[in-house]
Amino acid sequence: MTAPNHAQALKKLAADILVQTLDEDLSRLLSDAMARARHDDAIAADLAGSVLPPLLRRWNCVLHAGDDAASTQYRHKTAVALAILLHKYGIADAAISTRADAGIDALNEAVALSDDFHRKTDDIKRAFLHTPPTPPKRAPGLPDSLTFYRAGDVVSYQLDGRHYAAYVHRCARINQSPVIEFYDAVFDHVPDIGELQDKRARGRRYNDGSVRIEHISVAGMKFMPDPAGQFVLVKACVETPPDASHLGKRVGLYGVSDVFDLQESVDVMFSADSLD
């Protein structure tokens, strides 16, 4: 029996939007890492070290989720899709492969996928989990910046188990890269709109000591609901953004970012000493 290729194996998961989002996330990260690798031998020698940490900070929102946020079968599909796509892009990780191996068995036991998937289980495991991948020869193309979020949306953003809230002011271009501003609040759960009523905008401290309004356009903030479970819509059509009157004027219209650069932005903006 001929083993399916990456696309054929992923199609058998019957989770097209999940696969598309993971694929675009990996393309975004690899494109950046391989560009930097041309000038940095350490990155070139360990692409996985540049790609996996930010990827997992985002997708752990699913992989580590409880049943209230993501079903068991969805977590299994995510692990399997992640392992196959990493193999496609020349990256192997033992822990992810092990989890995907168990996920395949669990999906088969639950009869969650087709008979064809069950019949080709051994081929899929052998080809994508137990065979070293081929290192990529060229960087993948950057995905588009399409978004389904709209002005007036309030969203929750999860990072390392903490939840932040952000207001969508507009899109940077028509239906692309929403421009967000964070509320000055951190939660251990997805907040409801009532919990944000009295929260002001969170600013960013600049090198000159000033604390200014911070608007950020976020490429890759695309589907609603977010297949990674990182962005959750709190409420749509909210007319009033968080109060930013206590902050200095912003620098430019907005900062240009994506779903991975946003991790560092949040780390900086919400660090313990960021506004001291």
In this prediction, residue 4 carries a pLDDT of 87
In this prediction, residue 37 carries a pLDDT of 93
In this prediction, residue 167 carries a pLDDT of 98
Per-residue pLDDT reduced to its tens digit, 119-134:
999 999 999 999 999 9
Q: What are phi and psi of 20, to 5 degrees?
A: -60, -45
Evaluated on CA atoms 127, 15, 162, 172, the torsion sign reads positive
Task: Say whether 164 sits in a helix, a strand or coil.
Answer: strand
| Helix (H), strand (E) at residue 170 | strand 162-173
In this prediction, residue 61 carries a pLDDT of 98
Q: Which residues pair with 189 in a beta bridge?
A: none
How many CA atoms lie less than 13 Å away from 191 in the CB half-sphere?
23
In this prediction, residue 119 carries a pLDDT of 93
User: If we measure between CA atoms, which residue out of 201, 260, 197 comes closest to residue 228?
Assistant: 260
In this prediction, residue 253 carries a pLDDT of 93
Per-residue pLDDT reduced to its tens digit, 57-72:
999 999 999 999 999 9
pLDDT along the chain (276 residues), means of 10: 86 97 98 94 94 98 96 98 97 96 97 93 95 91 96 98 98 96 98 97 94 98 98 98 97 95 97 65
- Rounded to the nearest 10 degrees, the angle between the axes of helix 16-37 and helix 72-88 is 40
In this prediction, residue 276 carries a pLDDT of 54
pTM assigned to the model: 0.95
Task: Say whether 86 sits in a helix, a strand or coil.
Answer: helix
Look up residue 86 and give its two tokens.
């990493």
Torsion of CA 67, 230, 25, 7, to 10 degrees: 20
